[in-house]
Homo-oligomer: A and B are copies of this chain.
Amino acid sequence: MSARLAPLIVSLVFLTAHQTVTSQAGGGQNGFDLVDKAGSIRKPADVRDLYRLLGTYTVELDPKGEEMHVTYASPGAAQYYRKNGKFADGTVLVKEVLGTNHGPMTTGDAHWASDTKVWFVMIKDDKNRYPNNPLWGDGWGWALFKADAPDKQVATNYKKDCLGCHLPAQSTGWVYVQGYPVLKSK
C-alpha cells in the first residue's frame, strides 16, 4: 500500500466504526422506517434483543390479576431524552404487556413476567406527518398489536383506543416517565 493512501484507508475505517456507534448513541431515531406512506405502523422486530429498557410497571388489576408492563425504547432514545428533556423525532417506544407468575423466593414473594398479551407502539412525530390518519396525533403515532396475531396492527383511532389510558401522563408528553429511571440518569 502506498504511504500516501494509508492514512485515507485508516480514516475510512475509523469513520465507519464511529458512524456505527454514533448512529445508536445520538439523536438519530429512525422510527419512520416502520411507517408506510399512509401512516400504517409496523411493529419493530427483535425488540427484546435490540431495544433498551425504559422501565417496568407492575399493575394490580381490578378486580384481580396482575400485569407487568415492560417499556423498551429504540437505541439512543434515553441519551437524547436526558440531554434534551424530550424524546427525539422518530423515537420508537414499545410497551409489552405480560401476565405474571409468582412464588416464594429467598428474598420474599417474587413476581415475574409470563406470557405476552399485547404490545403498544408509539413513534414520536414532531411534524404532524399524517394529519388525516386517525392513529397519529398529539405528537405521536399510536399502534396496538395482540399476541394472537403479533404483526397485525389493530387500533383504529388513537383518541378512542389509546389516549384514555394516557391522559394522566399528558403533562409529560403522554409517557409515564416517572417509572423510567434511565431518563434521569444512566
Q: Mark A46-77, 1 if CB is under 8 A from B, else 0.
A: 10111011011111111000011010100000
Do most interface residues of chain A lie in helix, strand or loop, or is the interface mixed?
A: mixed
Q: Is A149 an interface residue (CB 8 A)?
A: no
Q: Which listed residue, B13, B55, B105, touches A113 by the CB 8 Å rule?
A: B55
Q: Is A92 an interface residue (CB 8 A)?
A: no
Whether A67 and B8, one on each chain, are in contact in the complex, defined by CB atoms closer than 8 angstroms, is no
Whether B98 and A181, one on each chain, are in contact in the complex, defined by CB atoms closer than 8 angstroms, is yes
Q: Is A107 an interface residue (CB 8 A)?
A: yes
Whether A167 and B53, one on each chain, are in contact in the complex, defined by CB atoms closer than 8 angstroms, is no
CB-defined A-B contacts under 8 Å, sample of 9? A48-B52, A49-B52, A49-B182, A56-B113, A58-B110, A59-B109, A59-B111, A107-B165, A110-B179
Whether B48 and A53, one on each chain, are in contact in the complex, defined by CB atoms closer than 8 angstroms, is yes
Given contacts A57-B112, A168-B106, contact A1 B5 (CB under 8 A): yes
Q: Is A101 an interface residue (CB 8 A)?
A: yes
Say how many copies of this protein the assembly contains: 2
Q: Is A21 an interface residue (CB 8 A)?
A: yes
A107: nearest chain-B partner, CB-CB: B59
Count chain A residues whose beta carbon lies closer than 8 angstroms to a beta carbon of B.
56
- Give 13 new A-B contacts, CB below 8 A, not counting A5-B5, A13-B16, A48-B52: A1-B5, A1-B8, A12-B13, A48-B78, A48-B182, A56-B70, A56-B113, A57-B112, A67-B108, A101-B178, A106-B168, A112-B176, A114-B181
Instruction: Collect the chain B residues with CB atoms within 8 Å of residue A2's CB.
Output: 5
Q: Is A37 an interface residue (CB 8 A)?
A: no
Whether B168 and A56, one on each chain, are in contact in the complex, defined by CB atoms closer than 8 angstroms, is no
Q: Is A40 an interface residue (CB 8 A)?
A: no
